[in-house]
Amino acid sequence: MITVYLKTETRELTIHKNIGDIPIEPFLERKSWIHLKNPTEDELDLVAKKTGINKDMLRISMDEEETAHIDFENGVTMLIVDTPVIDSDNESSKYFTTPFGIFFNEDYFVTICLKENMVEGAITSRGMKNFSTGKHVRLTIQLLYQNAIAFVNIMKMINKDSEAIEHKLHQSMRNKELFEMMHLGKSLVYLSTGINANQLVLERFKRLDIYKKYEEDIALLEDAMIENRQAMEMCSVHRDILNGTMDAFASIINNNVNHVMKTLTVVTIVLTIPTLVASFFGMNLILPFEHSKLGFLYAVLISAVIAIICAWALLRYTNPRR
């Protein structure tokens, strides 16, 4: 799908989408922001032809394994960064990253992402200060800034999810919650990799001369780097907390298993005593009480007394407070 944003001279933001039979080509104007979400080949052809940006260059950002980097080719500046994505239908990992491509030349500004992301809507819905689709360098920095904020917001969501799962684990130790904790740990690995790669892109972009024309751009890029470093620190802290929580619950599970095994061992030993006494009286030998009418009762009483004494001794000896 293609979405075209254009900030007019009257400071009004117009939005056009290729939904239904409405043609989108007339709205692909100069100084507009063209965003493609999971585009088709026809949409790529249309944008490449209109903007003069090589189609193969646009397709780079559609590779989910593409790493964050900056490149220049035929007057086109390309930035690939990782952006966080939420997928509630994915059982293995709810949070992960996907490439977000930024391409601009003197006339056109194009972004591409395969998934629904938090960056595009953040800029257009919040009315960001000095937002203009015609100022390509500033718009790039604003996108990088909002991308860093998106990572921070994702970390807050992960923290809430972790606390909710931990509360469930306090109520009942089930495999479902443990798997959810494991999936959160996997998500943090993906997010950490993306944040670190984005930091390298920000640092390289900072060394370019194209963004140093305006003081506001320099300050905004510094803010983006600060937000990205904050996301890095939050990710590291959450990973440490999650790993510590998993280790703690693993120890609790081991302690519970040891307690169950201890109880079963005591029960097994105690039940062995009546069997041993009964086996003595079952032998073909002369034994006490064999001619008494109360012999069976005596055998039961002896077995019970010895079993009780043995159980008391074992419980006292294995008491952790001893």
Reported for 310-318, long-range contacts at CB under 8 A and 24+ positions apart, including other chains, are 310/269, 310/270, 310/273, 311/266, 311/270, 314/266, 314/269, 314/270, 315/266, 318/262, 318/266
Using CA atoms, how far residue 31 sits from 5, 109, 163, 211, 220, in Å, is 9, 7, 46, 17, 21
Q: Is 135 left (phi over 0), alpha (psi -120 to 50) or beta?
A: beta
Give the tens place of pLDDT for each residue, 157-196.
Answer: 888 888 887 777 777 666 677 777 788 888 888 888 888 8
**170 burial type by CB count under 10 A (0-12 exposed, 13-18 middle, 19+ buried):** exposed
Please tell me the least confidently modeled range out of 14-23, 83-92, 147-156.
83-92
Rg over alpha carbons for the chain, rounded to the nearest Å, is 34
CA 242 to CA 37: how far, in whole Å? 33
pLDDT band, very low/low/confident/very high, at 89 (cuts 50, 70, 90): low
Where do the domains of the chain lie?
Answer: 2-253, 254-317
How do residues 290-317 score in pLDDT, each as one tens digit?
A: 666 676 777 788 888 888 888 888 777 7
Q: Give the integer Cα–Cα distance in Å for 26 and 19.
A: 14
Asked if the model's pLDDT at residue 124 lies above 70, the reply is no
Rounded Cα distance, 61 and 100, in Å: 6
CB atoms within 10 A of CB 138: 20
- Tokens matching residue 45: 């052809």
Q: What is the band of 320 on the pLDDT scale with cuts at 50, 70, 90?
A: low
Indicate the helix (H) or strand (E) that contains 248.
helix 215-281
- pLDDT, tens digit (0-9, with 9 covering 90-100), for 194-216: 888 888 888 888 887 766 667 77
257 burial level (CB within 10 Å; 0-12, 13-18, 19+): exposed
The tens digit of pLDDT for each residue in 230-259 reads 888 888 888 888 888 778 777 777 887 888
Q: Long-range contacts made by residues 223-229, C-beta under 8 angstroms, separation at least 24?
A: 223/145, 224/141, 224/144, 224/145, 224/147, 224/148, 225/148, 225/199, 227/145, 227/148, 227/149, 227/151, 227/152, 228/148, 228/151, 228/195, 228/198, 228/199, 228/202, 229/199
Residue 42 binned pLDDT confidence (cut-offs 50, 70, 90): confident
Domain 2-253 = CATH 3.30.70.870? no
